[in-house]
Structure 1
Amino acid sequence: MEASGDIAIPVSPLVADVIASGLLWAIGDVVAQKLDVQSDGIDSRRLARQAVFGAFILAPLARSWYLLLSVMLPEASLPSTIAKVALDQTVSDDAVLAPVPIWAVTILSLMYVSLSVMQGAGVQHGLSVVRARIRDTMKANWCVWPLVQAVNLTFVPVRHQLLIVNLVSIPWSAYLSIKANRSGGGPEGISFPHGEHSPLASQRSPPKKGGFVEVVPMHDARPKKSDWEDAL
């Protein structure tokens, strides 16, 4: 007989995934910012954007994707594992946005676009970031995720596969942040376009002697190879 003080609060698997994904992406971003020697404290807006992406974009889509893989390829066999990893990680060499539902390139592209929108730069700028960076992003992705997903999709129950992905994403995003900092990457990897309405159209340096303030131009808004890295 249960104690009278015990109260069971049912939580749907989707809600649990949303909460866990948002929390773990937030933790990953905190780690990344702490490891960035150029970071001055924690950027709460950046943290919020990463948490929103993890919770409300990644979580429901990833949950559906892993359920779909388990239905398409239910067998626990080597050929089934190879097929799952291939679907999860492979993309046509000519694709910019995957023309078929290949998971890795689709979710990475969606990440760039959604972060661009949340920063106020818009969809078109996000798509330009995708076109410039997706191939290099996928090359880095393939150094880590095929092996992780081979183990995850073979041995981990479907209901926990997203959790494993989010846990691995913590050191993964921290590593990318360090690499971006060493190569001179920006703090978040999404550059605003120039223009008078841009939130970051210019930066001002501290006042010089004589009271004059020097206006320092923003960095080149064209995407750089390293800029994508700590956005993950």
Structure 2
Amino acid sequence: MSLLAFYTTSLKKHPRITNSLTTGFLFGTGDVLAQFISPGDDYDYKRTLRAAFYGSVVFAFIGDKWYKILSKIKFPGQPLANPRLNMIRNGITKTSIDQLGFAPLGIPLYYSIMTLLENKKFEEVQIKLKENWLPTLKVNWMIWPIFQIFNLSIIPVQHQLMAVNILSIFWNSYLSLRNAKKGEDLPVHSPPVPE
């Protein structure tokens, strides 16, 4: 049995568990890759576990629901005579909704949860969002729209999250590197000095 056949069978029998395990594994893989390409740092297995946890517990379920919602969206208006053009037009419509609706909310969700999982305070979440949200969103818009048009036009809905997760290995590496910026890149808040 091929890996894709095994995945498809597992997805049919146990969709939530399969999505959770594969998404967590791929988020963790992205973090491992990020740590290996980041010079001079020791490997932090807790960071990988946080990434895998986020992928398994948060993103797998949100992503699954989101792709099911997107699968029902069609371009408003009359269908075209050419079914392929309809697929592409619907894919562009879904991608627009995904990139203008989900991405601007999903990015701060990632940074917020990862910062809280690092046992940091809410003020640090705000700092991380202020520094990372817009730059990450801009990079997101350079990468994801072309892929999502293809994914949401051609890939069957049950495999769309997996397709996203495969590209996400590299995207998650980027997010992990950005999330783990060193202290010198962040504002330093010193405790007050007693007089």
Same fold per TM (> 0.5)? yes
Q: Could you tell me how far apart the structure 2 residues matched to 1:113 and 1:58 are? A: 13
Q: Does the C-alpha gap of structure 1 residues 104 and 71 become closer, same or farther in structure 2, counting only changes over 3 Å?
A: same
Relative to the length of structure 1, the TM-score reads 0.65
| Count of residue pairs the alignment pairs up | 170
Instruction: Note the C-alpha offset of 1:125.
Output: 2.5
Relative to the length of structure 2, the TM-score reads 0.77
**Which residue in the other structure is 1:94 paired with?**
none
Secondary structure of the corresponding residue to residue 184 of structure 2? coil
> Superposition pairs for residues 1-232 of structure 1, below 5 Å?
11-40=13-42, 42-73=43-74, 76-90=86-100, 102-174=101-173, 188-189=180-181, 219=184, 221-222=186-187
Moved over 2 A (4+): 8-11, 72-79, 122-125, 171-177, 218-223
**Which residue in the other structure is 1:211 paired with?**
none
CA contact (8 A) 1:66 1:161 kept: yes
Secondary structure of the corresponding residue to residue 53 of structure 1? helix
Secondary structure of the corresponding residue to residue 222 of structure 1? coil
Q: Could you tell me how far apart the structure 1 residues matched to 2:20 and 2:175 are? A: 24
Instruction: Note the C-alpha offset of 1:220.
Output: 6.0
CA contact (8 A) 1:112 1:127 kept: no
Q: Could you tell me how far apart the structure 2 residues matched to 1:156 and 1:78 are? A: 11
Larger proportion of helix: 2
CA contact (8 A) 2:88 2:149 kept: no
Q: Which has the higher contact order (CA 8 A, sep 6+)?
A: 2
Structure 2: any 5+ residue segments left out of the alignment? 1-8, 80-85, 189-195
Of all paired residues, the percent bearing the same amino acid is 29
Which has the greater radius of gyration?
A: 1
Q: Could you tell me how far apart the structure 2 residues matched to 1:16 and 1:89 are? A: 25
Q: Could you tell me how far apart the structure 2 residues matched to 1:219 and 1:132 are? A: 13
| RMSD of equivalent CA atoms | 2.6
Q: Does the C-alpha gap of structure 1 residues 22 and 137 become closer, same or farther in structure 2, counting only changes over 3 Å?
A: same
Q: Could you tell me how far apart the structure 2 residues matched to 1:176 and 1:59 are? A: 16
CA contact (8 A) 1:35 1:174 kept: no
Q: Could you tell me how far apart the structure 2 residues matched to 1:175 and 1:127 are? A: 20
